[in-house]
Amino acid sequence: MPTGSAPQLIGWTHRFSGKVRDVYAPATPHPSGDVLLLVASDRVSAYDHVLPTAVPGKGAVLTALSRWWFDQLADIVPNHLVDAPAPAEVADRAVVVRALDMVPVECVARGYLSGSGTVEYRAGGAVCGVPLPPGLLEGSRLPEPVFTPATKAAVGDHDENVTFDAVVAEVGRETAEELRRVTIAVYSRAAAVTERAGILLADTKLELGRTPDGDGSLVLGDEVLTPDSSRFWPADGWQPGRAQPSLDKQLVRDWLTSPASGWDRASDAPPPPLPEEVVERTAAGYREVHRRLTGTDL
């Protein structure tokens, strides 16, 4: 990610940029200690590429939703938010957070069969080594939520689904079991909340870490339960056996892999710009998730 894509902010030094977020450190010691500033941009990523087209307002939705969800989940797992103001020019899409030592695992929970889970299931009747009942279809509800972790890839690399045993080998059994417990507990709480709002939470990805000087407890970081990190389906459109209507960035993925884009995902060519219709529908879906869950409009 080009450094120049990140805004210059008085009092903060740009450290690096991920696919979506720009990360800053305090230029001088901060009153809250070892903190970072996370600024959610309007960039959109898909298939391990940052696209040349932004989705206006996306960063504000990600930030507002994450703040809301951190509050809903506080009794399950602590989070990295710090009660300190962000710079005024990015206040609607930035948070000050505690610096964490991140666990090198993408913690994914699935309640429905979709995406790479469907591909794995069709190939061997399991997802990440977790056996599933026969006869499931694309979009089927699973008997219970399952923990389906993945490797954590750098920008431009691809996350790979792994088994629980692989997580144990990476971080140890005690940490692996705690990652699984927290991930399933967060998913279960969130799925109940979204269903009351007429949204099915098909799956979600969490980032967990620990404070360097803390007691070793897991802390929820990055973003949580946004349309970037989750699959949200309108409940009234759910029908197993086909691709589901979505309120997330699946619209972007679908267009990129359609004949209309002209893009060969297997090539080295970067993805093309998104058409305005796809941008508008994606932005509307993100805002709709926020509105249904929080009861407010951005």
- Residues 79 and 155 grouped into a single domain: no
79 within some domain: yes
Rg (alpha carbons) of the chain, rounded to whole number: 19
Residue given tokens 């970072």 in the structure block:
36
* pLDDT tens digits for range 3-33: 347 999 999 999 999 999 999 999 999 999 9
Per-residue pLDDT of 266-290, as tens digits, reads: 998 999 999 999 999 999 999 999 9
259 and 204 both lie in a single domain: yes
Percent of the chain past pLDDT 70, that is, above it, reads: 96
How large is the average pLDDT for residues 73-94?
A: 97
For every residue of 25-90, DSSP letters joined together read EESS--TTSSEEEEEE-S--EETTEE-SS--TTHHHHHHHHHHHHHHHTTTTS-B-B-S-PPPGGG
Do both 179 and 223 map to the same domain?
A: yes
Residues 6+ apart with CB under 8 A from 276: none
What is the structure's pLDDT at 3?
A: 33
CATH number at residue 76: 3.30.200.20
Mean pLDDT for 62-73 is 98
Same domain (yes/no): 109, 256: yes
Over residues 246-262, the pLDDT tens digits come to 999 999 999 999 999 99
Q: Is 248 within the bounds of a domain?
A: yes
The secondary structure element, H or E, covering residue 250 is helix 250-256
124 shares its domain with 215: yes
Kindly state the average pLDDT of the residues 224-253: 97
Per-residue pLDDT tens digits for 179-215: 999 999 999 999 999 999 999 999 999 999 999 888 8
Q: Provide the residue range defining the domain that includes 19.
A: 3-100
Q: What is the pLDDT of residue 284?
A: 97
> Both 110 and 252 in a single domain?
yes
Q: How far apart are CA 201 and CA 292, in angstroms?
A: 13
pLDDT score of 242:
95
pLDDT at 213: 84
- Regarding whether 162 and 50 lie in a shared domain, the answer is no
CB burial string 67-91: b at 16+ within 10 A, e below: ebbbeebeeebbbbbbeeebbeebe
Cα–chain-centroid distance for residue 273? 22
Mean pLDDT of the chain: 95
Are residue 118 and residue 239 in the same domain, yes or no? Answer: yes
Residue 100, pLDDT above cutoff 50: yes
What total number of domains does the chain contain?
2
Give me the pLDDT at residue 158, please.
66
pLDDT at 48: 87
Asked if residue 251 belongs to a domain, the reply is: yes
Q: Which of 68, 100, 132 is the last residue of a domain?
A: 100
- In a domain, residue 28? The reply is yes
pLDDT at 157 over 60: no
Tell me how far apart the alpha carbons of residues 86 and 98 are, in angstroms, rounded to a whole number: 13
Chain CA centroid to CA 1, Å: 18
Question: What are the phi and psi torsion angles at 179 (to 5°)?
Answer: -60, -45
| 172 and 95 within one domain | no
Q: Answer with the one of 100, 129, 146 that is the final residue of a domain.
A: 100
Shared domain for 163 and 211, answered yes or no, is yes
Contact 162, 195 (CB under 8 A): no
Residue type, 247: L
Residues 169 and 233 reside in one and the same domain: yes
In this structure, what token pair is assigned to residue 31?
A: 């009153």
Give the per-residue pLDDT at 154. 57
Task: Please state the pTM of the whole predicted model.
Answer: 0.94
pLDDT of 2 above 80: no
* Domain endpoint, select from 71, 100, 129: 100
Same domain for 168 and 182, yes or no, is yes
Structural domain includes residue 64: yes
Q: Which two tokens stand for residue 126?
A: 């399991």
